[in-house]
Amino acid sequence: MDVKTGYVAGRLAFRGVLCRISGISTAAHCHAVKKHSCETVFKFSQRSLYQTSTPGQHRWFCHNSTPGQHRWFCHTATPSQHRWFCHTSTPGPHVCIVGSGPAGFYTAQHILKNHKTARVDIYEKLPVPFGLVRFGVAPDHPEVKNVINTFTNTASNERCSFLGNVTVGRDVTVAELRQAYDAVIMSYGADADKEFGIPGEDLSGVYSARAFVGWYNGLPQDKHLAPMLDTDTAVVLGQGNVALDVARILLTPLSILKITDITDHAAAALETSQVKTVYIVGRRGPLQTAFTIKELREMTKLPDCRPLLDPADFAGLEDKVKSLQRPRKRLTELLIKTAQTGGATAQEAQRLAQATKEWGLKFLRSPLEILSSEDGSRVSGIRLGVNQLEGSDSSARAVPTGETEVLSCGLVLRSIGYKSEPIDDTVPFDSQKGVIPNEAGRVTGCKGLYCSGWVRRGPTGVILTTMTDGFETGKAVVDDLTTGILQPVGGVRGQEWIQPLLQKKGIQAVTFEDWNKIDSEEMMRGEKVGKPREKILDVKEMLQVAQS
């Protein structure tokens, strides 16, 4: 394709970029890929060409990534002569999203749906997309991962691009992104762990739940974790859904796990695990737990595993249950039932009595110190402070009583939450709250800079919460573009401005088409061993597959 500015043969001159398509005389030379009512879509030079037939005239449209939309027209002046020209329409705004997890994709989805010319580029530090949906959702929860289909549809939008293997703050700065884009949205989540800051927290055998989840879910940075599973008792500190996830994975029979997308090395380690008992410890009481009924019900139904709940922990709660909101009411009722009867029928009770594994909830306990073995080589137990509650219901505070107790264990998993960290000095960040200061997704004091997801509101909630959050930030961007608060700047913009910077640094940006190659390879490997997929754990190998 020859792209020229100025005068085109045939005495047809237009302002803007003028193009001539060389060597193409008829539509027969193009390859049809899909149809839109009366229009036929063709592929030419990696661009979508639309042909609309009218008497004596053919018109070609090309949605070009830079510097906006190009339209190619073919006018049949005579049966043997074609005249080609290109008119460049006003380019739409360029929007950049940093992070390809649920927050990033939901924000992109809203913008693409509600602004008809906006282009969205999604940057991701890993070569693979989807964030915590890929690396955080438990392998035995495949139904939750179905949201990937929605994200794939978003990424397939002709106005959306994915650029993986690009670390914002290192490979490209936020200042450079703000030069290239009309709006920049920070949606990079929370990769760091919250810590207790107590003695012994750095002992061998003590891990964050985040790293443990990353280990069995194939997060490249956690592939070498090698948790010490040669112990009969594990303690999980925290009582949220992630805490129940890691407890469930420790206790679930391998026959169930091996047909999921759990990593091969994690399955091999769990096959030889000696863990038989898992205690899930929380600093407050049954009415303040953060897990939901779905995760609790799964724990009560674990094969070859029985619950260890003390009925005394639930004394006096029957009267309070009546006034609770429905989700908390149902959860508390299940807790009480499980404590009193094991949550089972008589037949199930007999089966549970023969179980070889067990799990328990310990309330009103705070970790004071993680104890080491005599030789100091690993954890041997944990000293807990006994608490009492001040206040009522969800707002009750845990207050130390001064009493302590020791719980023996050989494995400790800290599950008290994630935290976001700043990735660029030019972006405001509240280190106390672990979020970017914002108003409805608009970063405080930074016009054109936005945030969504955990880095906006903190690491809480489920995927549905993140969807609502992403839509709200997306709306803020669309509103600012529509009302003129943001004024799109013309010229070479978006990834076309960024790509040369990456190339100078030798950065291989991974496209969504490249990801599809990785995806296909993983599914092929999984099919060979009876799994949905076998995840590639090494970034270099991911890039090799992407280049193949």
Among 50, 73, 88, residue at a domain's last position: 88
What pLDDT was estimated at residue 63? Answer: 39
Q: Residue 56 and residue 280: Cα distance in Å, rounded?
A: 75
Q: Residue 89 has which token pair?
A: 């329409």
Residue numbers in the chain where pLDDT is lower than 70: 1-90, 342-344, 492
Q: What residues have CB less than 8 Å from 385, skipping those under 6 apart? A: 365, 366, 367, 368, 400, 401, 402, 403, 404
What pLDDT was estimated at residue 90? Answer: 59
From 229, 235, 257, 258, select the one nearest 247 (Cα to Cα): 235
Same domain, 232 and 362: yes
Same domain, 360 and 429: no
Looking at the domain assignment, is residue 219 inside a domain?
A: no
Same domain, 235 and 160: no
What pLDDT was estimated at residue 209? Answer: 98
- pTM attached to this predicted model: 0.83
| Residue list, annotated binding site for NADP(+) | 239-242, 283-284, 295, 461
What pLDDT was estimated at residue 392? Answer: 78
Contact 226, 272 (CB under 8 A): no
- Region of 344 please: left (phi>0), alpha (psi -120 to 50) or beta: beta
What pLDDT was estimated at residue 34? Answer: 30
In DSSP notation, 481-498 reads HHHTSS----SS-THHHH
Same domain, 444 and 401: no
Same domain, 521 and 505: no
Same domain, 432 and 493: yes
Q: What residues have CB less than 8 Å from 544, skipping those under 6 apart? A: none
| Residue list, annotated binding site | 103, 124, 132, 168, 239-242, 283-284, 295, 454, 461-463
| Residue list, annotated binding site for FAD | 103, 124, 132, 168, 454, 461-463
Q: What residues have CB less than 8 Å from 35, skipping those under 6 apart? A: 41
What pLDDT was estimated at residue 343? Answer: 52
**Range of the structural domain that residue 515 is part of:** 511-548
Same domain, 378 and 249: yes
Same domain, 291 and 346: yes
